Structure 1
Amino acid sequence: MSRSPQNILLYLKPCEEQTIREIFAELASRGFPIQHQEPHISITFAPELSDDVIAHAAQLLPPVIPATFQRVGTVVFGTKRKQTVAWLLETTDELEIAARELSALNIHGRGPRWTPHLTMGLRLPREIVPEYIHALDDLGSTLQKEFTAQRAGLWKPKSRELILYAGE
């Protein structure tokens, strides 16, 4: 049984997902931890999302997808031994407003905040984070600066079910 939370996620175009997987593979070939996550951008998550959040996402997301994102920096999340390295993203005002509204509705969330990002290194030992960022900058600096969120949906990990709101 999965302990992962339910998520409202944005998925990239297949060619962009492939580019990210190639970066993961190159980082692994350089000795860094293998990354297994599917490339995605999270809007909000909870152990179980409320019906209000799910229904509201079905209304808010279709008009704003597809959406373009620009990579504007690299961030590190976490304060303990394991940390996450991600590319910081910016997107359209319309999607930003929708995401913040969904986040605000989520009683398990952080209020009306959203930090759009694409996780590039999950659960990395703190000691390797600087080297990982350097390698990621080396690989990603020219490969991918813009992304398109082509699909949006609710991911239910317990049942391994994806309910699409937008996209094909």
Structure 2
Amino acid sequence: MSRSPDNILLRFSAEQEQQVREIFAQLEKRGFPAQHQTPHITITFSPSMSDAVAQRAAELLPDLIPACFHRVGTIVFGTKRKQTVAWLLETTDALEMAAREISAVNPDGRGPRWTPHLTMGLRLPREIVPDYIRALDELAAAQLRELTACRAALWKPRLQELTLLAGDMEHNGRD
């Protein structure tokens, strides 16, 4: 049984997902921890996503998908021993407002806040984070400056259930 929370998330095309996975593989070849997560952008998460949140996402997101994101920086989440390295992303005002509204409806959420990002290094030991960021910059400086989310979905890892909320059916699978 998965301990991961349910997520309303945005997924990429198979081609862009593979490009991110190739960066993960190159980082692993350099001796960094393997990354197994499916590339995605989380809008909101909950131990058990309420139907109201999924319904609101299904109402707001279809008109906004596909959605373009621009990579504008690298950020580090976490203050303890394990940290997460991510690409900070920007998108349209319309998607930003929709994501904030979806997050605000989530009783387990963080209110109307959203920091769009793509996790590039999950649960990294704090002491390797500077080297990881340097290697990531070397490998991906000119790649994936722009990303396109082509579907929105509700992912329930404990059930291994992906429910499409907006976009195409090109890619289904685990998160």
**TM-score after normalising by structure 2:** 0.95
Counterpart for residue 141 of structure 1:
141
How many Å separate the matches in 2 of 1:51 and 1:17?
28
Counterpart for residue 110 of structure 2:
110
How many Å separate the matches in 2 of 1:165 and 1:49?
14
Please tell me the residue identity of whatever aligns with 1:111: G
CA shift digits 1:26-45 (9 cap, x unpaired): 00000000000000000000
- 1:153 equivalenced with 2:135 (yes/no): no
Gaps of 5+ in 2: 169-175
Q: CA RMSD in A?
A: 0.6
Q: Give the superposition deviation at 1:109.
A: 1.1
CA shift digits 1:12-55 (9 cap, x unpaired): 11111111000000000000000000000000000011121111
Identify which range, 8-17 or 29-38, moves more after superposition: 8-17
Q: Give the superposition deviation at 1:144.
A: 1.1
Counterpart for residue 74 of structure 2:
74
SS of equivalent to 1:79: coil
Q: Give the superposition deviation at 1:2.
A: 1.3
SS of equivalent to 1:142: coil
Counterpart for residue 32 of structure 1:
32
Which segments of structure 1 move beyond 4 Å, counting only runs of 4 or more?
none
How many Å separate the matches in 1 of 2:36 and 2:139?
18
Counterpart for residue 100 of structure 1:
100
How many Å separate the matches in 2 of 1:108 and 1:78?
19
Counterpart for residue 172 of structure 2:
none
SS of equivalent to 2:57: helix
Q: Give the superposition deviation at 1:60.
A: 0.6
Q: Give the superposition deviation at 1:95.
A: 0.7
SS of equivalent to 2:142: helix
Counterpart for residue 127 of structure 1:
127
Give % identity: 69
Q: Give the superposition deviation at 1:3.
A: 1.3
Counterpart for residue 88 of structure 2:
88
SS of equivalent to 2:96: helix
Q: Give the superposition deviation at 1:165.
A: 0.9
How many Å separate the matches in 1 of 2:34 and 2:139?
15
How many Å separate the matches in 2 of 1:58 and 1:113?
19
Q: Give the superposition deviation at 1:93.
A: 0.9
Counterpart for residue 18 of structure 2:
18
**TM-score after normalising by structure 1:** 0.98
Q: Give the superposition deviation at 1:153.
A: 0.5
